[in-house]
Amino acid sequence: MTTVSEEYDWAAPLEPLKNLVSERALSGETMVLNMGPQHPSTHGVLRLVLELDGETVVNCIPDIGYLHTGIEKNMESKKYEGALVMTDRMDYLNNMGNNLVYCLAIEKLAELDVPLRAQYLRVIGAELTRLNSHLVWLGTHAMDIGAMSLFLYCFRERERILDMFEMISGQRMMTSYIRPGGVWRDITPDFLPTLRGFLDDFPRRIDEYETLLTNNPLWRDRTQGIGFISAEDAIALGCSGPTLRGSGVAWDIRKAIPYSAYDQFDFDVPVGRNGDVYDRYMVRVEELRQSLRILNQAVKNLPNGPFRSNNRKYVPPPRSELGHSMEAVIHHFKLWTEGFRPPKGEVYVRVESPRGELGCFLVSDGSPRPWRAHFRTPSFIHLSALPAMSQGYMIADLVGIIGSVDIVLGDSDR
Amino acid sequence: MPELDSVVNALKSAFPDAIEDVQVFRGDTTVIVSRERLLDICRYCRDTEGLEYDFLSDVAGVDYYPAEPRFGLAYSLYSMNRNASLRLKLMLPGEDPVVDSVTPVYPAANWQEREYLDLLGITFTGHPDPRRILLPDDWEGHPLRKDYPLGYETVQFSFNYDEIAKHKPLAQK
């Protein structure tokens, strides 16, 4: 039998992939095919090298690196506060979550205290971003599988969340609202009524989404029993967040290692049973409702008090003090020209992002610039687990599997 | 933290010569281990009852240039059962940054080690897939090293257009 590589000399060399594809690929029995980076369901910057036996995926080799953010390298040359604005851009659907993990790392380094009101505002921000991220995920995931109208509904609700972001931070996506020691500024008086209106309205919308999908036979056919990953495999491969909980492991960092006043909130951790695409979908839809519960409690119990720490070595003084306090002017000037100097040390902080464990490893050498800021991003780890989830399924299922782990390619870059 | 003390003591008694230092900073315990025994220590941490660190959260590589040993690798381990974390850290010399891959114990390390192979130039022996991950295969240098310069591009305005266009012959075609 003539092999593909003998017959066509333009066949791409398989040498670099030799230990990743099966023997059958080398003899030309199975086909090696590129999916992406321009395929719509691979989000434009992910390439999957697939080894196919007919339509069955034998091997899947993800290839990232089509996005060149260079954020970790860039952060080393910026001051701590200046590097904060780059964290928004890492995972553009979880902007406040990224702010939060970076600020928590700085606060852990500097032993900076955060007032309770600021912690509640952070929770509101983080949960709104979770809603935002899950809505984009639900809309695009459903569209990948073929449900168009849901995409429009989800983006309609997302718009209202972006409006609220604009209300508290002046920005719709790159908010940079959470700052070391607290938040940028207090909420405006019209924010809470808007949020309450949204919270009253949104449960009905989730029911609408579920009416369209949850018991839809087409949806079930395309998602149930697809992309299976067992709890042991998921833990070994480092999966976290809804991907891990879909396999039945009730691990939520907000419960296990509470941060930022999450221990004062009452909510459940939704868990799946089967570890397939459908269960991951159900977990996320249930998380939407749990986020609403948290937000309702946060709105109800929002304490009064300062919205940022009064440690002047790290947090700028209020604008109103600059007019009459020389001390405030000095601190303000020093902070915006020199920055602050956290003590020498290394910390690792983890938070629960919409996608899973988001960690920040921050190294300070005592200078105003981070010596090293490393982010453990869930999309990166979940992409490395993608081959284990997709082997043996059809190429059409792969689209659903990629969607079900909820990757954001900005999050998987460095 | 008495629980972490017992973990550290267990590690110390199992690997008396491989534990170089134990640091506690802001409530995090970091155990500095020697690179020769890393794989054994990881396996011990995962399989021993009372430790059960079954989840590798993160591998963080740091370049301490110009200090020597130059590179640090911090492995953040987490135990699902015990809800406890531990950090293993090892130092690598700048001359030959080689360490065993922990992929046989924690498959999650696969891509994270490739990341440092790519960005810091650390070699992981026994890695199942030692390719670059973020940069093209023919890229020279390791950008996350401190002696790798941060490049920049002149911002193009109308007044400096000609100046910049001179450096971009391909764009003229």
pLDDT in tens, A226-249: 999 999 999 999 999 999 999 999
ipTM (interface pTM) = 0.89
Per the structure block, which two tokens stand in for A196?
């309450």
Contact: A74, B150; criterion CB under 8 Å: yes
Lowest mean pLDDT among A11-25, A266-280, A337-351, A371-385: A11-25
Contact: B74, A413; criterion CB under 8 Å: no
**A70 closest CA partner among B91, B155, B153, B105:** B153
Query: pLDDT category, A13, cuts 50, 70, 90?
Result: low
Q: What is the pLDDT of residue A267?
A: 93
Q: What is the pLDDT of residue A414?
A: 81
| Pick from B26, B133, B143: CB nearest A73 | B143
Give the closest-approach CA distance of B60 to chain A in angstroms.
7
pLDDT in tens, B47-73: 998 889 999 999 999 999 888 899 999
A256 touches chain B (CB under 8 A): yes
- Amino acid found at A245: R
pLDDT in tens, B70-85: 999 999 999 999 899 9
pLDDT in tens, B2-61: 567 888 999 999 999 999 899 999 888 999 999 899 999 999 999 998 889 999 999 999
Q: What is the pLDDT of residue A28?
A: 80
pLDDT in tens, A62-116: 998 888 888 999 999 999 999 999 999 888 899 999 999 999 999 999 999 999 9
Chain A residues within 8 A of B56 when measuring between CB atoms: 238
* Mean local confidence (pLDDT), A330-345: 93
A371 touches chain B (CB under 8 A): yes
CA A15, A20, A23, A25 torsion: positive or negative? negative
Give the closest-approach CA distance of A9 to chain B in angstroms.
22
Q: What is the pLDDT of residue A36?
A: 77
Contact: A376, B115; criterion CB under 8 Å: no
pLDDT in tens, A136-191: 999 999 998 888 899 999 999 999 999 999 999 999 989 999 999 999 999 999 99
**Residue B1 pLDDT greater than 70, yes or no:** no
| Pick from A236, A251, A371: CB nearest B108 | A236
Contact: A108, B135; criterion CB under 8 Å: no
Residue A110's region, left for phi above 0, alpha for psi from -120 to 50, else beta, is alpha
Residue A19, CA distances (Å) to A62, A115, A177, B127 in order:
14, 54, 46, 11
Smallest CA–CA distance from A252 into chain B, residue: B80
Contact between A123 and A298 under an 8 Å Cβ cutoff? The reply is: yes
- Taking 3-state DSSP, the helix, strand and coil percentages for chain A, each rounded to the nearest 5, stand at 50, 10, 35
pLDDT in tens, B130-161: 888 998 888 888 999 999 888 777 788 888 88
Give the closest-approach CA distance of B21 to chain A in angstroms.
15
Contact between A204 and A210 under an 8 Å Cβ cutoff? The reply is: no
Distance separating alpha carbons of residues B90 and B93, to the nearest angstrom: 10
pTM: 0.92
Contact: A350, B131; criterion CB under 8 Å: no
Query: pLDDT category, B93, cuts 50, 70, 90?
Result: very high
**Residue A3 pLDDT greater than 70, yes or no:** no
Whether omega for the bond prior to residue A37 falls within 30 degrees of 0, making it cis, is yes
Burial of B161 (0-12, 13-18, 19+ CB in 10 A): exposed
Smallest CA–CA distance from A384 into chain B, residue: B111
Q: Which residues pair with B89 in a beta bridge?
A: B32, B74
What does the DSSP assignment read for B110-134?
Answer: HHHHHHHHHHT--EEET-S----SS
Top residue of B54, B65, B73, B78 to mutate, by most chain A CBs within 10 Å, is B78
Contact: B111, A237; criterion CB under 8 Å: no
Distance separating alpha carbons of residues A61 and A21, to the nearest angstrom: 9
Contact: B110, A384; criterion CB under 8 Å: yes
Per the structure block, which two tokens stand in for A88?
């928004």
- Provide the number of CB pairs (under 8 Å) joining chain A to chain B: 98
